[in-house]
């Protein structure tokens, strides 16, 4: 493993794995506790519209994916809280519209999109330095938001009705939480792609939740587990010459089942 770190692309990949694990460990904890894993999938697929727009106007697709993800988060939160439309219906509508917009924008783009596959299924080995800088900024925003609203997020996660009774603005905090999910999705796109985002958001937190029930402990353990398993998947993909995003997800999945068996046997 040390030998392959002499290459710049592997150094970038390792940094990306660490940055992704931080975002997933923190936000993934809330995703699992609040049972909104499906929402992360909806937001990630909506991001494809932003990726298509980036190709169309000729700028980094990650930059254009950010507003699409944020708007999707706000849209899902607002529709589910303010209208009679169910949350899964709102997710389905925005999910399909985002994918459709992405296809339309890419179709309108001149030439061929050579690295489109990496945005769908991830390619941690091709993460550029600019995208790493974006990941750092988004991670800092996520950490700062959780530090500022930790008690409020905990309250709406465990007893939303009581939180509303005591005066906590639950609707706005829920939308803010979805916006954090949106930022995490942007961080993840380059690593595992639009289609595999759910795995990194959910699995490390799901593993951690089997061994501890305190939110802070779940977050910290999820970050560590995410780093270990993501780096392990990265190393395996390099050694076996496999798709990096898919290999990372498979390592996460196997680890979840092993952890479940160990938990039952203890």
- Write down the pLDDT at residue 223: 94
- Write down the pLDDT at residue 198: 85
| Predicted TM-score of the model (pTM) | 0.86
- Write down the pLDDT at residue 146: 93
Q: Which CATH class is domain 3-265?
A: mainly alpha
- Write down the pLDDT at residue 212: 87
Grouped pLDDT means (10 residues each) for the chain, 266 residues: 69 88 91 86 87 88 89 87 78 88 88 73 81 89 93 86 83 90 86 82 92 90 93 88 87 93 80
- What are the residue boundaries of the structural domains of the chain, listed by start? 3-265
Q: What share of the chain is helix, strand, coil (3-state, %, to 5)?
A: 85, 0, 15
- Write down the pLDDT at residue 1: 56
Give Dmax over CA atoms of the chain in angstroms.
Answer: 58
CA 152, chain centre distance (Å): 21
Backbone φ and ψ of 168, nearest 5°: -80, 130
- Write down the pLDDT at residue 204: 93
């Amino acid at each position: 493993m040390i030998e392959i770190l002499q290459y710049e692309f592997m150094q970038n990949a390792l940094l990306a794995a660490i940055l992704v694990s931080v975002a997933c460990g923190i936000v993934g904890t809330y995703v699992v506790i609040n049972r909104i894993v499906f929402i992360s999938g909806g937001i990630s697929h909506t991001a494809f519209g932003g990726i298509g727009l980036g190709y169309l106007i000729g700028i980094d697709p990650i930059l254009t994916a950010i507003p699409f993800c944020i708007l999707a988060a706000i849209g899902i939160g607002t529709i589910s809280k303010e209208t009679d439309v169910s949350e899964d219906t709102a997710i389905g509508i925005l999910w399909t519209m985002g994918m459709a917009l992405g296809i339309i924008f890419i179709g309108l783009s001149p030439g061929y999109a050579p690295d489109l596959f990496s945005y769908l299924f991830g390619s941690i080995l091709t993460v550029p330095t600019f995208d790493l800088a974006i990941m750092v900024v988004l991670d800092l925003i996520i950490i700062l938001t959780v530090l500022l609203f930790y008690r409020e997020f905990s309250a709406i996660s465990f007893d939303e009705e009581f939180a509303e009774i005591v005066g906590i603005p639950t609707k706005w905090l829920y939308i803010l939480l979805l916006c954090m999910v949106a930022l995490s999705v942007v961080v993840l796109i380059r690593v595992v792609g639009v289609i595999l985002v759910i795995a990194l958001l959910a699995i490390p937190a799901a593993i951690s939740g089997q061994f501890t029930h305190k939110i802070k402990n779940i977050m910290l353990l999820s970050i560590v587990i995410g780093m270990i398993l993501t780096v392990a998947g990265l190393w395996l993909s390099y050694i076996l010459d496999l798709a990096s995003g898919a290999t990372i997800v498979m390592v996460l999945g196997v680890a979840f089942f092993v952890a479940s068996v160990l938990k039952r046997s203890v």
